[in-house]
Structure 1
Amino acid sequence: MSEQDVKAEIEKCVNMSAPGPHVFLLVIRLGVRFTDEEKNTVKWIQKNFGEEAAHYTIVLFTHADELVDLSLNEYIRENIEIQTLVIDCGGRFHSFNNQDMENCNQVTELTRKIEEMVRINRGKHYTNEMYKQAQKNNEQDEHYNTNTTLSIILVNGGEGGDRGDGGGGGGDLRIVLLGITGSGKSSTGNIIIGSFKFKRGISSMSVTKHCERHETTVEGRHISVIDTPGLYGTTMSEEQLKNEIVKCVYMSAPGPPVFLLVIRLGVRFTHEEKNTVKWIQKNFGEEAVRHTIILFTHADQLKGKPLDLYISESNALQALVNECGGRYHSFNNKNMEKRSQVTELLEKTDRMVGINGGQHYTIPMFKQAQEKIEREAFQQKVTDFGKTALTVAGGVALAAAGPAVVALGKAAAKAFVAPGAVKTLLTGATAAASLNIY
């Protein structure tokens, strides 16, 4: 088929799935050579369907029966190109055993993974509008490439290039560290910076009391790291913690491309850690999860066990990783001088930023999240006040009617508690509520 014919078929497939598909399954066959064309399929999808399409894509490996001596996780881990492909799709993948096609469980499991992805995407699906925008961008790119080749060469030839994009193409990168007390946030910051700038300590209470920012240069690239007070294990009041959250966002202005959710390995996975993604969503907004990577510290505690195997053995830990789009990395705290673990983290961050269309988390997103918290707090206050008013009004009505009920006896009790009296009391309580709230 010609390129024009392929384009026509693509348009047809989008229209056939109107109002738009919830998922693209990128099908890769196992047991055969991984071709150059397959390596570039994500770029092809992004070009033809737009950057947003990667948010709705799961890699489906067929012929899993061909993997005789390896698990699928091991196979992916041993092939850097396939691993890159999976990461480009948010770490989402599944496999089918073609020798066991009657096994409905593999379809059920795929459906579960699709539903999980849809939930992370907040129920949204890929739309015809996204496709039209992608085609429009392609036309503009073709026009731009045809008419402004000289300009491109001149811009890219400038010294240093663009260092203010916040991530994704080797520009400046701002990293915010989040995690419970004792997870190893400060040590993580020191590993990234390459020196002991952040204060560390072994304590049940947070060593970091205020947001701190330190900077470094990695392979000619300016990196800023912002450490935050530990969640749940701090003497700070909720208001003080909120103020530090505000500070960390503004210290990373115009906003961080990445939040590193730091989890310590080798210790019990706590109830608080299980709820850290919900905490991030509540305080930074739903969008923040798209900019989050889980960073496991103390990987040396695994004593040779593969990290992906360790994750798969814990449903709670696997769920946490899934909520962050399958993105994770680890640091070996016994080998803090190993710079390759930092370089690899930056590469994963760049891929995530690329999937996010080069966008970073922004201060307007944070403000929107805080406004939502205030609205919900206000609504809860109204609800609680209403319940109190009803309780008080009901108690007054019954107290007033009590002696008469005793005198008249049980037969007349229902008739005596006049609905009008209760209604009058409730009206007064409602008016009082209006005055107190506003």
Structure 2
Amino acid sequence: MRNLTLTERLSPILCRPISEVDRRRAALLFLDWTGCAVAGQVEPSGQKMTAAFKEETGPCSRIGTGPSSPLMAALHNGALGNVLEMDDVDRQAVLHAAPTIIPAALSVAEYVGADPDKFLNAIVVGYEATIRIGRAVGAGHYAFWHNTATCGPFGAAAAACYLLENSDLVSALGLAGTQAAGLWQTRHEPDSMAKQLHAGHAAHAGVLAALLSVQGFQGPKSILEGEQGFFRAMCPGADPEDILANPKAEWLLHETSLKPYPACRHAHPAIDAALKAFNELGASDSDVLVETYADAIKFCDRPNPQSTIEAKFSLQHSVALALTKGVPVLSDFEPDVVGGPLKALRARVSVKETDAFSGAYPKHYGASVTLYGKTYTAHDAYGDPEVPMSENAVKDKAIGLMTHAGMRAKDAERLAQAALESDLIKYLSLLP
């Protein structure tokens, strides 16, 4: 008798009971993603994604344009959710689950006419698969590969399989894994929009894998641990068995973090620390030292950003904003602000990696800012499980994003409430 593969051993973990509390968390994440995706559609990369496939037709809704096949709906809506860098994140997996899992679950739920509970259950299962694999891939993978892109297809496939009759989860996970891709080179080229394609492709790949599995199209069962599989090829130093850690633990979507500010999550703890200084001292133009963990500096040490996306990945810009005006908002990352008076303060912000913050990472995203001889520290970022956003705060964020995109406040409120209630028929009818 052969040994079971990792995908076969993972499957029972994805089939555990799901409670009303779990579904409520899934609904909150659905609400958060909705605000991000609606706002993302009106941005340049969102508009280009819409224009590229505007002739598509089919039964599944796409934000800002006509319906299409479930595959293209997953691709389109998946790309939109990551545009503004405000989508949720799992700290240990270092990935955004929402823009890969939720568009896949939404397109297939609409395709098969799933009820709200089954749709939310699919989100729970999808998050679990993606986060488990993301937490296992290790730093060697993240050094080159965008975890959202590479681990997202597995969760998208799991979510889609949950909703499709006669699907084969093991085959779908194998087919998802063989499509895993997405390189960090996109972050080195400011004009690149590939990061959004990563999320859309992951959602598309998962739905494709699940639909093919229904037809008996077989995928490689040992895609994770095989001699030429995902971990051997792409995850140096990592142990694929870690995917199965704590099999009876609470569903992992409860450990995801939500993002209150429109910047890279690695910048958030520094923003929180700077806000503590701002609340005590008021606006400041002092020399500032930011201390944080190595990955925050690797991805966000940009003292002179030249564009909106570079500013969102700039510790210097984010901290300068927080120290001069308080809580950053979307408009603070627009070109006129990026190229404006903040340049002088950004030049006075220095950054440094410290063992204390790097040692706590990735379980904790921390940072401190020091100015006028006093240090302000955030050991966890606002929106993390230790410092959660309330339901009302998440709803306000989503409504703010949707009105930023041009929706009337009343319409945004109705869509947000439909998402929170997971009334899919009403929700789909209200999408712009």
Normalising to structure 1: TM-score of the pair? 0.22
Q: Whose Rg is larger? A: 1
Larger strand percent: 1
The higher relative CO (CA closer than 8 Å, separation ≥ 6) is in 2
